[in-house]
Structure 1
Amino acid sequence: MTEVLFYHLERRPLEDALPVLLEKSLERGWRCVVQAGSPERRDALDAHLWTYNDASFLPHGTDAQPRPERQPVLLTLDEANPNDAQVRFLVDGARIADASPYVRVVHMFDGRDETAVAAARERWREAKAAGHTLTYWQQDENGRWVRKA
């Protein structure tokens, strides 16, 4: 079964949390796909991942560029998995119909947005009903991740 993780963003924005989780996934030898909610968001994340840290490099590309299958991290708008990723990150309420092709599916949602929280609760119920292994992470007062469930 796929491990489905929920990251409840409260102290730090997605732009701070996502690169760290992508780096940890790449360190484990996993390819990643990040599904965004709009072309503007995908492109903003693309630009951000090039500049978020002067001391590191996060290799990535988008599905709007040639050869997406070559990207260790692919930013996309749909459910396709052209880079054979093992980990799928869902941001901006993005959804997939089938989590089973992945080792991990990571839902990242803004805890200050009631609509996003309600949607995450619904995704939790769906993943639980499908029999996936679930974990829930919340940021503490310092922005570190604490496992809550």
Structure 2
Amino acid sequence: MVARVDFYHLLSAKLENILPRIAEKTLSSDKKLLVVVPDDQQARYWDDYLWRYEDTSFLPHGRVGGGDEAEHPVLISTAMEAVNQASYIALTDGLWRAEALNFERVFYFFDEIAVQQARQAWRSLKNIDGECHYWKQDEQTGQWKAIA
């Protein structure tokens, strides 16, 4: 089912600067997003952060366990189950999960600690029917550039 996997190699960039933008673009495309986090503490962190990351914008979202999960266009969860019927998924903890390929689009975020796992995932996805893109931030300009 996957149409596209975007690998985001986090060097100097922080996920806090990227994930809200990805969520905004997802919503502007009339899609729903499942944000997978490693634990409940991170789920609470992201739930709070997405309410306050920018004073001038509103990003509707919720967290599994917070009620009305199926209604949220952006849902934060520790599980891979898209109870909000999301077609996009963001893996925020650097861990690749093959179940992500059940989604139309995957945003896979990883840092230097998880780079070996990301490389292994990249190699394993070379023959999928969809597209794979590897994004790395330019250290001087801060712009994201497609490496592959």
TM-score of the pair, normalised by structure 2: 0.91
Name whichever of 48-57 and 96-105 sits farther off.
96-105
Of 118, 122, 137, the residue aligned with 1:124 is 122
1:136 aligned partner: 134
2: distance between equivalents of 1:99 and 1:15? 21
In structure 1, what is the equivalent of residue 72 of structure 2? 71
Confirm or deny: 8 A CA contact 1:11 1:142 kept in the other structure.
Answer: no
Greater mean deviation of Cα atoms: 10-19 or 100-109: 100-109
Identity in percent: 36
Name the SS of the counterpart of 1:98 in structure 2. Answer: helix
Quick check: 2:88–2:103 contact (8 Å CA) kept in 1? yes
1:11 Cα deviation after fit? 2.2
Aligned-pair CA distance for 1:40 = 1.1
Distance apart, 1:144 and its partner CA: 1.7
Q: Deviations over 1:97-145 (max 9, x none)?
A: 33343220110112xx3x3111211221232244442111111123221
Give the RMSD, CA atoms, in angstroms.
1.5
The C-alpha deviation readout for 1:35-92, integer Å capped at 9, x for no partner, is 0111111111111100000010000000121121000000000110101111100011
**Count of matched residue pairs:** 146
- Take 1:38 and 1:129, find their aligned partners in 2: how far apart are those partners? 31
In structure 2, what residue type is equivalent to 1:58?
Answer: L
- How far the C-alpha of 1:93 sits from its partner, in A, is 2.4
Question: 5 Å matches for 1:1-149?
Answer: 1-2=1-2, 3-110=4-111, 113=112, 115-140=113-138, 141-149=140-148
- Asked whether the 8 Å contact 1:35–1:94 carries over to 2, the reply is no
Instruction: Note if contact 1:36-1:94 (Cα within 8 Å) is conserved in structure 2.
Output: no
SS of the residue corresponding to residue 58 of structure 1 reads coil
Question: Residues 50 and 59 of structure 2 are in contact (CA less than 8 Å); yes or no, is this contact kept in structure 1?
Answer: yes
TM-score by length of 1: 0.90
Amino acid in the other structure paired with 2:146: R
